Structure 1
Amino acid sequence: MTLYTWLPIFNQIQKGCTCFGMTVNALLVPLIIFKSPKDLGLYKYMMIYIACFEIFFGCVELLTIPDFFTKGSSFFVMVDPRKTIIPQGWIQSADLLFCGSFAVSLGIFGFQFAYRYQVLKGNKDWTESSFKNIIFWMGSPLVFACIWSVALGIFMPLNPYVKTVLIRESVFSGDLDLDTIGFIGALFYPVLDDGTKIINWDSMSGVSVTTTILMSSEFAMFFFAMKCFLATKSLMTQAGHSKSFRRLQWQLFYALMLQTLIPITFIQGPFTVIYFTTIILDDSFEFLGHFLALSITMYLATDAFPTIFIIKQYRDTLISYFKRAKLIKVKPQQPASITSVQLKVL
């Protein structure tokens, strides 16, 4: 079976994962609002922010239905006007919005780890629930996304080099006017009509911006994750903190760690491989693009689970609900034997 034989199955799995992830995040939001521990403070709103963002990202993905294409030194993210209900005049903007949402998912957890570290260090100037702090912690990932999207819009729009590749590889079936598609993409080493291979400096400039954001995001995540671990470990040895407070801090750390590993695995990992195979090797292949499209939806489907199942209050609430709804079978307690009752009395 060829790759194109599997594409319809891939597409159905993508849609299913996206819808499932949106449902899980929609379930998580009321849990955060009504069942959160009192010690969360501003972090509670950051968790709501992330859950709502992932619902928004899922909506954008379902509306745009983006196509990913990788081959040789090319990497394209496209919106086919025949697949989307978005008006023609908004298709390019929708493609940029999808790419910007992708950037938010890369940067948001670095800021979350940085915030957790400030909490553990007791820096109230950065962690109190003030308007200034809300704007900073929740707005900073959007600034990264805007820089990312502007760079893509300037350096990676549709151009004659790209059109040649799209026509040669028959990326779009039928008689589609390429000027009507939403397009963001890089072609690093285009081939001229005489067979000469050149460097596309526009694509190189765009990728230098996106790579800087990608690397800074990864550095922030690893740097503040290590500092959070050391700060949490140090906090556990200090007197004056209740057992429930200490347990909560470890729960938040483990939930954030696992929640961060998910985008690293499903987004940053495949994205880095695509960059390496297109820029360095000049020998990428089509499966990578389709795999990235699928892995993004896997990220949306799974990223809320660490928070739900590690934070005790959320987990207990769900288990209690499922028990009442009889979705979880509860084994009836066996009556105590005469011997055990006698022993208890004794």
Structure 2
Amino acid sequence: MIGVYDLPQYLHIFTKCSLFFAILFNTFLVYLILTKSPRQLGVYKYLMVFISIFEILYSLLEVTLTPIHYSYRSSVVVLITTSDKLFSRDILLTLNSFYWGFFGSSLAIFAIHFVYRYLVISGNALLQTFQSWKLILWLMIPLVIGFIWSLTGIFLCGPTEEFTEFMRNDVWEVFHENIEEFEYLGALMYEKSWATKNMIIYWSPIAGMTIMSLTVLASFLVIVICGYKCYLRIKLLLKNGGTSSARSQVLQTQLFNALAIQTLIPILLLHTPVVLKFSFAIFDAGLGAYCFAMSITIALYPAIDPLPNFFIISPYRKAALGCFKLRKRQIQTVDQNHMRRMPIRIVRTV
């Protein structure tokens, strides 16, 4: 029977599989974006390429670290095993902070994605900022948010003696390992003494949790508000016909549908798990080993996120199906040629 302490080993295998599909799907998507995109897509294709490259790098970092999300009572933590890594503990701690940064950047990327779709559909004057060198400023936002998350991890949620001792017994019970076998970043918000009823509050981790929670909330609100406004504009556009061509209207609808499904992916795989993890820890009821599910969903997201583009956006769907049909015809041709070359043997029966 598989014990909880065996799960990190299986998590590493899972992240490798996820990396394979993340590279496969995102690389193929970049190819389709650069070669099969309709003219109406405009600069949006560069934003899509940026996201695909980001997700490949995110998945590579996942495999390098195999981060274990965990929560015990009033704490949340990301653990990195050290015994199976080639890097020193200092480098692993830095890479863990980069991992936090990638998570924060992903939240900003999805928000910008929705802002752009709304500006296109509404014809807002701010759309011009995406058509010039100012696009770089938009792409800098996820990088800045990621940098803030990395600094938050290192300076506000770094390892402390109090946190290490707080986690020691529970880590041994769950992983059958000493806490020293891990490098970690996390937030111990407070400690309760059940005997004296006293409470020790740790303000630096609380400040870090506040920064991260506000980022999650801001990303979610931007997605919901812009998404709803996009829905209303597209509904009105299709109803009245508008001044744009029928092809452009269909493309905008397809892009929005793809974006809507792509938004469900991060909300289900990223936003919801982190909100649950934070919420239970605030009430001194950490989810414990259940947080392994969060480790899996976060590792899964870079591999799943590009899929809606293949199925919903018509030019990409046709190109993808064309590749599969071509491959099928090539296999059939090879089989037919092989059959023609085979000698025919006549077996006589007496």
Whichever residue aligns with residue 297 of structure 2, its letter is: S
Whether the 8 Å CA contact 2:310–2:317 is kept in 1: the answer is: yes
State the Cα distance separating 1:4 from its structure 2 match: 2.9
Whether the 8 Å CA contact 1:65–1:83 is kept in 2: the answer is: no
State the Cα distance separating 1:233 from its structure 2 match: 2.0
Aligned residues: 326
Whether the 8 Å CA contact 2:74–2:286 is kept in 1: the answer is: yes
Moved more, 119-128 or 189-198: 189-198
State the Cα distance separating 1:234 from its structure 2 match: 2.4
Deviations 1:79-123 (A, max 9, x none): 223232334442221001001101111221111111111111223
1:248 alignment counterpart: 251
State the Cα distance separating 1:239 from its structure 2 match: 3.6
State the Cα distance separating 1:46 from its structure 2 match: 0.3
Correspondent of 1:279 among 279, 282, 286: 282
2:33 alignment counterpart: 32
Correspondent of 1:317 among 319, 326, 332: 319
Whichever residue aligns with residue 217 of structure 1, its letter is: S
Change (3 A) 1:262 1:327: farther
Aligned residue runs from structure 1 range 220-239, under 5 A: 220-236=222-238, 237-239=240-242
Give the whole-Å Cα distance in 2 for the aligned partners of 1:307 and 1:86.
Answer: 37
Whichever residue aligns with residue 252 of structure 1, its letter is: L
What are the ranges of 5 or more consecutive residues in structure 1 without an aligned counterpart? 331-346
Question: TM-score, normalised on structure 2?
Answer: 0.86
1:267 alignment counterpart: 270
1:334 alignment counterpart: none
The SS at the match of 1:212 is helix
The SS at the match of 1:247 is helix
State the Cα distance separating 1:329 from its structure 2 match: 10
Give the whole-Å Cα distance in 2 for the aligned partners of 1:223 and 1:270.
Answer: 21
Task: Give the superposed CA RMSD.
Answer: 2.4
Structure 2 residue 337 is matched with structure 1 residue 301:
no
Whether the 8 Å CA contact 1:94–1:182 is kept in 2: the answer is: no
State the Cα distance separating 1:326 from its structure 2 match: 1.0
Change (3 A) 1:79 1:243: same
Structure 2 residue 167 is matched with structure 1 residue 166:
yes
Whether the 8 Å CA contact 1:323–1:329 is kept in 2: the answer is: no
Whether the 8 Å CA contact 2:69–2:292 is kept in 1: the answer is: yes
Question: TM-score, normalised on structure 1?
Answer: 0.87
Change (3 A) 1:164 1:145: same
1:111 alignment counterpart: 112
1:210 alignment counterpart: 212
Change (3 A) 1:328 1:269: farther
What are the ranges of 5 or more consecutive residues in structure 2 without an aligned counterpart? 333-350
Deviations 1:189-238 (A, max 9, x none): 23579864422222211111111111001000000001111122222224
Give the whole-Å Cα distance in 2 for the aligned partners of 1:293 and 1:98.
Answer: 12
2:157 alignment counterpart: 156
Give the whole-Å Cα distance in 2 for the aligned partners of 1:184 and 1:239.
Answer: 52
State the Cα distance separating 1:177 from its structure 2 match: 4.2
State the Cα distance separating 1:148 from its structure 2 match: 2.0
Whichever residue aligns with residue 315 of structure 1, its letter is: R
Aligned residue runs from structure 1 range 331-346, under 5 A: none
Give the whole-Å Cα distance in 2 for the aligned partners of 1:327 and 1:182.
Answer: 52
The SS at the match of 2:191 is coil
Whichever residue aligns with residue 310 of structure 2, its letter is: I
The SS at the match of 2:285 is coil
Give the whole-Å Cα distance in 2 for the aligned partners of 1:97 and 1:165.
Answer: 25
Moved more, 53-62 or 225-234: 225-234
Percent of aligned positions that are identical: 29
The SS at the match of 1:59 is helix
Runs of 4+ aligned residues of structure 1 deviating over 6 Å after TM superposition are 192-195, 327-330
Change (3 A) 1:7 1:80: closer
